Amino acid sequence: MKSIKRILKELFKDPMGRIGLIGVVLIIMLSVLAPVISTHDITEMYTQDKLREPCGEYLFGTDNYGRDVFSRIIYGARVSLEVGIISVGIAAIFGLIFGVISGYFEGWVDNLIMRFMDILFAFPSILLALFIVSALGPSIANTMIAIGIVNTPVFTRTVRASVISVKSTEYITSARSIGLKPASIILKHIIPNILSPFTVQITLALSGAILTEASMSFLGLGIQPPDPSWGSMLNESRKYMEIAPWLAVFPAVFIICTILSFNILGDSLRDVLDPKLKL
């Protein structure tokens, strides 16, 4: 796998890669600097300023409770990234373990793991996530677990395909012929050579995880009050679309920009790490 410095250099050469990288960095900076950037307490209700239009005091206006929309969106970015990173981390870890075992050993182990993944794939991702959260109870931790489970089959299939491809190469055959144990071959020779597609999948899965969290929060089974979420903000704005459109516009714009940035970055990263896939 290429060094991080070289990857960043090649990403900046690509206009789309540069846009995606800058967009992701900006979202991360907003979430990290939320306590500094936010202008008001996200839970404080300014009852005298309900449904205020965007102005100097309230950059994105206020909601139906008199809360500052700008501050809630900034903290919502933190929540979305936290859920996305942790849930994708869960999926990546289990997907790597299951994918390596399935692809390297094959046989009945492969059939058992992949049939279980097929069962998970049979359910629409958002419905499966909603079912898991309904069973466990709505909370930020359970939302992360649900999204992590939903994304595990994708990582498992990606890793399995890469392992099968790498396993057939000559240097793996040579490693087996000199008596290296499977654990040593997997750790030293296989995993380092499947990191490229694995890294790309992580980037692409982040956008899907953020969208799933927003969808679940919109339906009331994701992030629960008083924690801000872009999805729940969209849900609350439905009753005020005609008189206060900014309540829906700003969360929607941030959701779209965040998902688009991660998707563009993922596509560009795929081209950088594996130029053969570039159309």
How do residues 165-221 score in pLDDT, each as one tens digit?
A: 888 888 888 878 887 888 888 888 888 888 888 988 999 899 999 999 999 999 888
Mean pLDDT of the chain: 88
User: What are the residues facing 68 on neighbouring strands?
Assistant: 62
Residues contacting 200, CB < 8 A, separation 6+: 266, 269, 270, 273, 274
The domains of the chain, with CATH numbers, are: 4-30+64-277 (1.10.3720.10)
Tell me the pTM: 0.88
Residues contacting 201, CB < 8 A, separation 6+: 92, 154, 155, 158
Q: Which residue is associated with the tokens 């089959």? A: 153
Contact (Cβ atoms closer than 8 angstroms) between residue 229 and residue 222? yes
Tell me the pLDDT tens digit for each residue of 106-145: 889 999 999 999 999 888 888 999 999 989 888 889 999 9
In this prediction, residue 279 carries a pLDDT of 46
Residues contacting 85, CB < 8 A, separation 6+: 206
Per-residue DSSP letter, 62: B
| Diameter of the chain measured on Cα atoms | 78
C-alpha span between 270 and 277 (Å, rounded) = 7
In this prediction, residue 2 carries a pLDDT of 59
Q: Per-residue pLDDT averaged across 87-93, rounded?
A: 95
